[in-house]
Amino acid sequence: MEWRLRREMVSVAKRIDERRLVAASDGNISVRIGGGRFGTGRILITPSGIALGSLRPQDIVMIDHKGRLLSGDLKKSSEYRLHLMVYEVRCDVQAVIHAHPPVANAFTFAGVPLDPCIVPEVVATLGRIPTSDYGTPATDEGATVARELIAEHDAIMLQRHGSVTVGESLVSAYHKLEKLEHTAEVLLAAYQLGGPKKLSQEEIEKLGKLREDLGIGAASDVLRACRPADR
């Protein structure tokens, strides 16, 4: 089980690197071993200072829910507080990915929200992609600013920093990262073409129903995320 997870982390790390969703040794990945709140209490996390593209299964370190090193020769990711915070607030989550997707990041640098309810499949699946307040990366503050948003959303942006995507599996968290950056690329193109046109309230309601029918979540999630006052 543990080595299967390590190999899966390496495979996802390579995909993140190939898609240029990080630069140099940025970005980090973790998985929780076992289910439930903290599961077995063990978390596999990528080490600090190694590019995701050259990660090997044996480089990954194991920590406990307080961030104490349980096994591994390398230093744990400097963003481990962010990962531990997510596992603490989301007992449904088994994997966390923090990346620096460039186009989505550019939206937060420009102060342009990524969350207008415009792209139908994103509305139905992710609801919206909110942006947190700014917090210094790799500190308690950097993790705390994301706490409220990640409690309610599977894909968020950290202002002037990067993304956090979570899932019941590593592949699911990775797919949300791809979807997040793809949404940013599409929105950027739409802004260049004169600005994206918003979905009507009626269409938003239909997407909420679709979300419910597909078993992804409640229709009310979408209605709450795309309230007319926020649009």
Which positions lie near Zn ion, rule CB under 5 A? 162
Q: Please, which residue, 162 or 208, has the CB nearer to Zn ion?
A: 162
Min separation Cβ 164 and Zn ion, Å: 9
CA 85 from centroid of its chain's CA atoms: 13
- Distance of closest approach, residue 195 Cβ to Zn ion, in angstroms: 30
Cα distances (angstroms) measured from residue 220 to each of 143, 213, 215, 216, 217: 27, 13, 13, 12, 9
Name the closest residue to Zn ion (Cβ).
162
CA 129, CA 156: separation in Å to the nearest integer?
5
We find the least distance from the C-beta atom of residue 107 to Zn ion, in angstroms, to be 16
The nearer residue to Zn ion, 135 or 162, going by C-beta atoms, is 162
How many CA atoms lie less than 13 Å away from 122 in the CB half-sphere?
A: 27
Nearer to Zn ion, 119 or 164 (CB): 164
As measured in angstroms, the least distance from the Cβ of 78 to Zn ion is 8
Query: Residue 3 or 109: which CB sits closer to Zn ion?
Result: 109
Nearest distance, CB of residue 60 and Zn ion, angstroms = 18
Sorted by sequence, the CB contacts under 8 Å of residue 151 that are 6+ apart come out as 89, 90
Q: Choose between 127 and 137: whose C-beta lies nearer to Zn ion.
A: 137
Helices and strands (H and E) in the chain: how many = 9, 7
Q: 3-class DSSP state for residue 75?
A: coil
